[in-house]
């Protein structure tokens, strides 16, 4: 068991992992040819093309004759962060911690984040429950469960995030008011939460207005980073849950700025 801090690409099918790695490669090099990738990844040219098609479908790269180029970083970051979903164990710990806040009968809103997805796995035992989300994988999972009222938040599908967004989604959110909101973001500074894409920010803001208790799920790695759009001050959240691997001084920094921080134990 190696301790590769962030390269924890486990729990991902081989092609999916390779695709994420290709995406990283493309962004690093700006633009590359298919043959470069054949060499770099030791697979046939056909496979490379198939991978690139998929990445293009997700909006991460642009194909042209002779190669591919990277898309605006914002899209890329969002997507790759999501795809190579690192720190699975930490997220599970955060989910377990968050779970304690949920009582049977409550209504819960989830955003499109893998952190939220971990939480879904724990819902089976907290029934009955009403869950609202715009995240397709979560919807699929929840549809299988008994005694859960699933409220799908529709909208325009984004292949990059595998979720629904846009104005229709924001409107759907605004028509609700749940007891709890669990959400995540792409970056957290000592004072604010950030996200790469404006579209997503719109929906998340709407969610923040539509819940009584707001919880931010943050695995370390999100911290110390920053992203284009400022979503909200951390004080807008009732609780910020971080994992154990978060440096102590960073936690202190958050608290110094008035945030309520809880640490999830592994």
Rg (CA), the chain: 19
Does residue 23 belong to the site contacting DNA (CB under 7 A)?
no
Please report, for residues 36, 53, 84, 146, 196, the alpha-carbon distance to residue 71 in angstroms, rounded to integers and kept in the order given: 18, 14, 18, 41, 13
Helix (H, G, I), strand (E, B) or coil at 132: strand
Q: Going residue by residue from 25 to 64, which x/- string records binding to DNA, judged by CB under 7 A?
A: --------xxx------xxxxxx-xxx-x---------xx
Q: State the Cα–Cα distance between residues 66 and 32, nearest whole angstrom.
A: 8
Unique residue bearing structure tokens 């958050």: 254
Q: State the Cα–Cα distance between residues 27 and 21, nearest whole angstrom.
A: 10
Does residue 89 belong to the site contacting a copy of itself (CB under 8 A)?
no
Do residues 9 and 86 lie in contact, with contact meaning Cβ atoms separated by under 8 Å?
yes
Q: Determine which residue in the list 1, 2, 3, 14 makes contact with DNA, applying CB under 7 A.
A: 14
Does residue 23 belong to the site contacting a copy of itself (CB under 8 A)?
no
Q: Going residue by residue from 172 to 191, which x/- string records binding to a copy of itself, judged by CB under 8 A?
A: x--x----------------
Least distance from DNA to the Cβ atom of residue 227, Å:
29
91 or 222, CB closer to DNA?
91
Least distance from DNA to the Cβ atom of residue 27, Å:
18
Task: Give the pair of three-digit tokens for residue 140.
Answer: 């699929």
Does residue 124 belong to the site contacting a copy of itself (CB under 8 A)?
no
Query: By CB under 8 A, which span of 73-81, 85-93, 116-124, 156-164 interacts with a copy of itself?
Result: 156-164
- Strands 187-188 and 129-133 come out as unpaired
Q: Is 64 exposed, middle or buried (0-12, 13-18, 19+ CB in 10 A)?
A: exposed
Least distance from a copy of itself to the Cβ atom of residue 167, Å:
9
- Strands 239-243 and 261-264 come out as parallel
With CB cut-offs between 5 and 8 Å by kind, which of a copy of itself, DNA, none does residue 72 bind?
none
- Residues that bind a copy of itself in the complex, under the rule CB under 8 A: 53, 56-57, 134, 136, 139-140, 142-144, 146, 149-157, 159, 162, 164, 168-169, 171-172, 175
């Amino acid at each position: 068991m190696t301790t590769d801090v962030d390269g924890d690409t486990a729990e991902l099918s081989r092609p999916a992992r390779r695709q994420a790695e290709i995406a990283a490669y493309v962004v690093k090099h700006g633009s590359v040819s298919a043959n470069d990738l054949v060499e770099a990844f030791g697979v046939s040219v056909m496979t490379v093309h198939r991978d690139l098609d998929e990445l293009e479908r997700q909006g991460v790269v642009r194909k042209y004759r002779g190669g591919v180029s990277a898309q605006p970083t914002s899209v890329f970051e969002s997507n790759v962060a999501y795809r190579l979903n690192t720190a699975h164990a930490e997220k599970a710990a955060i989910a377990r911690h968050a779970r304690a806040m949920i009582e049977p009968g409550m209504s819960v809103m989830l955003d499109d984040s893998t952190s939220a997805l971990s939480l879904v796995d724990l819902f089976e035992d907290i029934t009955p429950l009403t869950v609202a989300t715009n995240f397709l994988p979560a919807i699929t999972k929840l549809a299988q469960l008994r005694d859960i009222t699933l409220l799908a938040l529709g909208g325009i599908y984004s292949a990059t995030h595998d979720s629904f967004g846009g104005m229709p989604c924001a409107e759907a959110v605004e028509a609700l008011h749940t007891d709890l909101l669990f959400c995540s973001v792409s970056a957290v500074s000592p004072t604010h939460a950030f996200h790469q894409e404006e579209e997503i920010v719109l929906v998340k803001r709407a969610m923040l207005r539509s819940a009584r208790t707001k919880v931010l799920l943050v695995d370390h790695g999100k911290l110390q980073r920053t992203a284009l759009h400022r979503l909200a001050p951390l004080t807008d959240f009732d609780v910020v849950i971080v994992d154990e691997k978060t440096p102590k001084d960073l936690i202190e920094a958050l608290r110094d700025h008035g945030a309520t921080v809880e640490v999830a134990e592994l």
